[in-house]
Structure 1
Amino acid sequence: MKLPLRYITLLVILSLTGVFAYQTYWLTSLYHTQRSEMGKDIREALRTSDYNEMIVRVRQMQNDSSAQAQVTVSTGYDDERAFTKTHTIRSVKHGDTIRVSIWERNTADTVPTPQAALQADIATMLFSNKSSADELASNFQQGLHAAMDVLNDPDFAVFDSLLRKELLHIGIDTPYRLMHLHLGSTVDSSYTFTDTLAIGGTADYRPSPQATSYNYSYDLHGNWNYLLILEPTENIVLAQMAGILTASALILIILGFAFGFLIRTLLRQKTLEEMKTDFTNNITHELKTPIAVAYAASDALLNFDTGTDPAKREQYLRICQEQLRRLSGLVEQILGMSMERRKTFRLHPETFPPEEVIMPLIEQHKLKADKPTGITLRIEPENLTVYADRTHFGNIVSNLIDNAIKYSPGEAQVEIKCRTENGWFILSVSDQGIGIPHDKQRHVFDKFYRVPTGNLHDVKGYGLGLYYVKTLTEKHGGTVEMKSEPGKGSEFTIKLRMKNEK
C-alpha cells in the first residue's frame, strides 16, 4: 500500500496554518479588547478618585466645628410631576445654601401637563446621548462638584493619593504625571488660556513622546480638569495576557511536534515499506539459489549414475550439505528476528569462556569464505569469561565476522579482541574493508537497511545482520558501538555486563 504522503503533508500544513491564523486573530482581538478595557479602567479610576476626594472633603467639613456643613440629597417629583434629583449643601458658618437640580423626563403613565412636557423635552435634549446610569451618575457628580467647590477647593494631594491606589488596584504600577488644570477664555473668546494649578504624580518622571494622556473634566462646562499622563499600556496588557499567550504558544508547539512526529512516522513507514519490499525480493532470490543448487546436485546423484563415482558422489553431497547449511542459516536468522519480538522470548545466559564459541566460528567462516581470509583472536586475560546466552552470543559474533569478510575487497583481514574494562566484557571485531560513509552510519543498525551501492550488487545480504546484533546485545543489557572510515575499514564493539556486576 502506497502512503499518500504528499496529500497528508499538505493537509497537515494547511491545518497548522489555519490553527496559527485563528490563534493569531483571536489573540489580536483579545489584545485590542484588553487595551480598550484598560483605557476605560483608567478613566474610571480618575472618576472614582474624584468622587472619593469629595467624600473626604465632606467628612472633613463634618468634623470641622468652625465650619460645619449640611449635605442633603433628595429625589422625587415636583408639582408638575417632573422627576428631580436635588443636592443641597448648607454652610452653617457662612449661611450659604446651594441647591443643584437635575431633571429627567416623567416616566409615569399619567398624561403630562404642557409645562411638564416642555421640561421633558428639555431633559430629552440634555440626556439624549447619556441614557445609561453611569452617564447620569457622572452628570450628577459634576453637579455635586459645583456645590462642593464653592465651599472649599478640591484637595489635589488627596486626589493624587487616591488615584495612585486606584491605578495599583487595576494593575498599573508605572510612573505617571498628574496635573490640575483650569481652562478659560475672555468674554469674546478671542483669547484662551490654561492655568496649571498643581502638578503631582511620580517624582522625577518625564513623559516620553509616546506617553498617553487621559483627561477628566469634573465640571459641566469642561473648564476644570485633571490630566493624567502615562506611558503606553501595551506592556501591562501583554503582562496580563501572559498566561493566555503562554498557553497558546504551548498548544502551537505541541501541535507542531505532534504533526512533525506524524510526518516522521509516515516517512519511516514509507521507508520501511520499501525496505521490506527489497528484503522480500532479496530473500526470495537467496532462498531459491541454495534450493536450486541442492536440487541439481541431488538430481545428478539420482539420474546420471554419479553415485557410483566416489569422488563425484562426495563432491555433490558436499554441495548439498553446504547449500542446506546456508539455507538453514538464513532461516535461523529470520526466525531469530521473529522470536525477539515475542513477549515469550527469553534469554538463557550462562558463564563460559568466549573462545569456546568464537574459535569454531572462525574455522567455519574461513572454510566457507570465497576469498583469502585471515582471522586473529586475542583474549586478555586468558581466563576471561562472558555471561551471555551462548547461542545468541555466537550469532552476534558470526554476523560481525561475516560482515567483516564480505565488505573486505581482496584478502580479508579480521581481528577479534576480548577484554574487560570497569566491569564490562568488551568484544571488538575490526576489518580493513571498504568502510561505511559517514552519512549512512546512523542507519546501519536499522531493520532491512543495506548501505546503497548504486547498481552494484556484488555483496549478498538481507539487511538483518546488524539489526540482529544491536537487538540481541540490548536484550543482554549491553551496548554496541561502531567506528568506520570510508576506505580504511570498520570496527564494531560489543559491551556486556560481567556476571558479578549484575
Structure 2
Amino acid sequence: MKLPSKYIVLLVVLSLAGIFAYQAYWLTGLYRTMRTDLERNIIEAIRISDYNEMLIRIERLQERNREHGEMSVSTGFDSEGKQFVRSSTVLHQVSDTVIEGFTAQNDTLRRVETDTVRPQAMLHANEGFDMMLHNQSTMTGMAIYLQRGLHSGLDIMTSPEFSVYDSLVSARLRELNIPIRYRLQYLYSGYDVNDRWLYTDTLATGGTPGYTPGTDAVSYQYAFSSSGHDVYRLTTEPLSGLVLRQMAGILATSLVILIILGFSFWYLIRTILRQKTLEEMKSDFTNNITHELKTPIAVAYAATDALLNFQQADNPAKRERYLRICQEQLQRLGGLVEQILSMSMERRKTFRLKLEEVRLSDLLPALAEQHKLKADKPTDIRLDITPADLTAYADRTHLSNILSNLLDNAVKYSAGKADIVVSCHFVEHDGQKYTEISVLDHGIGIARDRLPHVFDKFYRVPTGNLHEVKGYGLGLFYVKTMVEKHNGTVEVRSEPGRGSEFIIKLRMKDEE
C-alpha cells in the first residue's frame, strides 16, 4: 500500500521542524551555559584578584617584619568546628644603657598576641567540620569565608591597595580571555551613628580608562570583609554580545547544517511532488495512447470488414473510399508507433543520428500533400524555400517526423480552414550559418503563461470547450528533443487568437 504523497510531505515537514526546534533548544541551552560560566568566571576573577592582592600585602609585611618585628595572622576551625581568626605580633624594642660614659643599645623581644576573634559573619557549623566537605559549593563557600577571615586580621594592620587590585583584575580577565570594558569600584556601606539610614561611600574607582557604563549595564560584586560592609563592584555592559561572538563558530556551523538540511528536504519534497505529477501524467498518457491506438485499428477493421462481409468491394467508389480510410488510419497508427519508438530510442546510449544533406524542396512538398489528404478540414499549406536548393544537415527520418508533428499541430489547432505557411532560408548568427525552418499557422494560439511548458513531456495546452483536439503530449517534446540532438534550437512565438509560429534552426554542414 502506497502512502499518499501529502502524508509523506507532512512527515518530512514535521521532521524538519523537529530538527530545527531541537537545534534551537540546544543552542539556547548552550548560550545560557556559556553566559553562566562567563559570569561565574568574572566573579571568580574578582575573588582571586582579591586573594592575590592580600598575598602581595603579606609579602610586603614580611619585608617589614625583618626590619621591625614579626606579625602573623592565622584562621581556621577549632575542635568544636567554630571558625577563628588569630593574630600575633613580635616587636623589636631598643633600650639605651649608659656605662661609664658610653651609651649601648640593647635589643629585646616583646610578643603581643591577640585573643581569638570569631566574626559574627563567619561560617558556623553545628554538626562539625566534616559536614562542610559534602559538595563543591560548600567548599567554595568555605574558601570564601576563610579569605574573609584573613581580611579581618590583615586589614587591621594594612589597608587594601586598590590600584594593585585593579591591575590584578585586569590581568586575570585577560588570562580568562574575557575582553570586556569595565568600571571597578571599592565601596563601603554602613549605618550612621544612630543606625537610622544606610549610606554607601565610594572609596576608590578604577577599571578601563574612558569607559562609562550604559543604562543597561550589569554589575558583579564581591563582599570581601566579614561584616559585608566592604565591597568590590565590577560594572560592564551585558554579556550577550560577547557570548554570541564566542559562539560564532558553532552558530555558523549550525546555520550551514540547517541550510543543507532545509535544501535537502526541499529537494526531496520537490522530487516527490514531481514524481507524483509524472505518475499522473504517465497514467493519463497510457489511457490516451490506448485510445489513440485503438481508434485507427477499429476504423481500419470496420472498413475491411465492410469490404469482406458486406459486398462493398463490388462498388468501385466505396471500395476506393474504404481502402483510403484504411490507408489513412494505418498511416496514423504508424506515426503513433514511430513517435513512441523514437522517444524510447532517444534514451538509449546507442542512439545515433544518420546525418546527411536533406534537400528541403524534396522533403516538404510530399509532407504537405500527406497532411492535406489526411486533414479533416480545408487545409492550405504554402511553401517558401529560399534558395530552391536549400538543404538541412539532419537525419532524414527524424527531420521528417519533426516537420510532420509541427504540421499536424498547425492543422489540428486551426479554427475552420487551416492556413499554414512553411518558410525555409538560411541565417547567420555569431559567425555561424543555420538553416531556419518556420511553420506558421493562424489558429487559436497559445497563452503567454503556457509557452514555457509547451515542450514539456506529456504537457498539453488546455483549450477549454472550443476544440476537442486529440493528442497525448509527446509531439512537441519529441520535436525539441530531436532538434537538440541535431545541435539545433527550437522556439515558439504565439498570441491567443492570432496563431503560432515554431522556428527551428539547424547548423549547416560547413559549420560543423
Fold shared, TM-score > 0.5 on shorter chain: yes
Distance 1:458-1:217 versus aligned 2 partners, 3 A rule? same
Counterpart amino acid of 2:473?
G
| Partner of residue 306, structure 2 | 300
**CA deviation profile, 1:263-322 (whole Å, cap 9, x unmatched):** 333332332233223222222222222112222332333334444554444333322222
| CA-to-aligned-CA distance 1:96-144 (integer Å, 9 cap, x gap) | 98999999xxxxxxxxxxxxxx997575899999864333332333333
Q: Determine which of 406, 410, 420 is the counterpart of 1:404.
A: 410
Task: Give runs of aligned pairs for residues 342-357 of structure 1, distance below 5 A.
Answer: 342-357=348-363
Which residue is 1:232 aligned to?
A: 238
The count of corresponding residues between Structure 1 and Structure 2 is 487
| Residue 416 (str. 1) matches residue 426 (str. 2) | no
Report the alpha carbon displacement of residue 325 of structure 1 after superposing the two structures with TM: 0.9
Q: Secondary structure at the match of 2:462?
A: coil
Q: Please give the alpha-carbon distance, in whole angstroms, between the structure 2 residues aligned to 1:259 and 1:330.
A: 40
Report the Cα distance in structure 1 between the residues aligned to 2:68 and 2:484, rounded to whole angstroms. Answer: 94
Corresponding residue of 2:4: 4
Contact 1:401 1:414 in 2 (8 A): no
Per the alignment, do residues 373 and 140 of structure 1 end up closer, same or farther by CA in structure 2, a change over 3 Å counting? Answer: same
- For 2:84 and 2:205, the matched residues in 1 are separated by 34
- Distance in 2 (alpha carbons) for counterparts of 1:2 and 1:82: 76
Q: 1:454 aligns with which of 451, 464, 467?
A: 464
Contact preservation (8 Å) 1:176, 1:230: yes
Which residue does the alignment assign to 2:266? 260
1:394-415 deviation per Cα after TM superposition (whole angstroms, max 9, x unaligned): 3223222222222121232334
Task: Point out the structure with max Rg over C-alpha.
Answer: 2
Paired residues for 1:213-224 under 5 Å = 213-224=219-230
Q: Report if aligned partners of 1:482, 1:492 keep a CA contact under 8 Å in 2.
A: yes
What residue is the counterpart of 1:245 in the other structure?
A: 251
Asked if 2 retains the 8 angstrom alpha-carbon contact of 1:414 and 1:432, the reply is no
**TM-score of the superposition, structure 1-length normalised?**
0.81
CA contact (8 A) 2:420 2:439 kept: no
**Alpha-carbon distance in structure 1 between the residues aligned to 2:337 and 2:74:** 105
Does the 8 A contact of 2:73 with 2:150 survive in 1? no
1:32 is matched with 32
Q: 2:484 aligns with which of 474, 484, 495?
A: 474
1:53 lines up with 2:59 in the alignment = no
The match for 2:98 is none
Alpha-carbon displacement from aligned partner over 1:9-59 (angstroms, at most 9, x marks no partner): 333343333333333333333322222222112111212322333444456
Instruction: Decide whether the 8 Å contact of 1:100 with 1:144 is kept in 2.
Output: no
Which secondary structure state, in structure 2, belongs to the residue aligned with residue 181 of structure 1? strand
Kept after mapping to 2: 8 A contact 1:99/1:147: no
Give the Cα–Cα distance (whole angstroms) in 1 for the partners of residues 504 and 213 of structure 2. Answer: 71
Matched, 1:162 2:168: yes
Is 1:190 aligned to 2:190, yes or no?
no
Normalised to the residue count of structure 2, the TM-score between the two structures is 0.79
- Contact 2:189/2:198, CA 8 A, preserved across alignment: yes
Q: State how far apart, in whole Å, the 2-side matches of 1:213 and 1:433 are.
A: 82
Instruction: Quickly say closer, same or farther: Cα 1:459–1:121, change in 2 above 3 A.
Output: closer
Could you tell me how far 1:442 is from its partner in structure 2? 3.2
Whole-Å separation in 1 of the counterparts to 2:157 and 2:231? 18
Q: How many Å apart are 1:487 and its aligned residue?
A: 1.9
Q: Which residue of 1 aligns with 2:454?
A: 444
Q: Letter of the 2:31 partner, please give it.
A: Y
CA distance in 2, matches of 1:61, 1:187: 33
| Match of residue 492 from structure 1 | 502
The gaps in structure 2 that reach 5 residues or longer are: 94-109, 119-123
User: Structure 1, residues 154-173: CA drift from partner, whole Å, max 9, x if none?
Assistant: 33233333323433444543
Q: SS at 1:449's partner residue?
A: coil
Is 1:431 equivalent to 2:431 in the alignment?
no
Contact 1:424 1:495 in 2 (8 A): no
Deviates more, 1:274-283 or 1:333-342: 274-283
Residues 234-277 of structure 1 deviation map (CA, whole Å, 9 limit, x = unaligned): 22222223333334344444333333333333332332233223
| Conserved 8 A contact 2:383-2:422 | yes
Using the TM superposition, give the Cα deviation of residue 420 of structure 1 relative to its aligned residue in structure 2, in angstroms. Answer: 3.2
- Indicate which of 396, 401, 408 corresponds to 1:395: 401
SS in 2 for 1:491: strand
What is residue 335 of structure 2 aligned with on the other side?
A: 329
Q: How does 1:86-235 map to 2 (within 5 A)?
A: 132-186=138-192, 188-235=194-241
Q: Which residue of 2 aligns with 1:114?
A: none
Measure the CA separation in 1 of the matches of 2:294 and 2:448.
34
With over 3 angstroms needed to count, the CA separation of the structure-2 counterparts of 1:336 and 1:44, relative to structure 1, is same
Quick one: percent identity of the two aligned structures?
A: 55
SS of 2:251's equivalent in the other structure is helix
Say if 1:69 and 1:90, in contact at 8 Å, map to a contact too.
yes
* Contact 1:61–1:67 (CA under 8 A) maintained in structure 2: no
- Paired letter, 2:24: T
SS in 1 for 2:185: strand
Change (3 A) 1:476 1:236: farther
Query: Which amino acid is 1:182 matched to?
Result: Y
Structure 1: tracts of 5 or more residues without a match: 104-117
Offset, 1:227 = 0.8
**What secondary structure sits across from 1:41 in the alignment?**
helix
Which has the larger displacement, 139-148 or 443-452?
139-148
SS in 2 for 1:430: strand
Distance in 2, Cα, partners of 1:67 & 1:495: 108
Cα distance in 1 between the residues matched to 2:485 and 2:221: 77
Task: Report the 3-state secondary structure (helix = DSSP H, G, I; strand = E; otherwise coil) of the residue aligned with 1:182.
Answer: strand
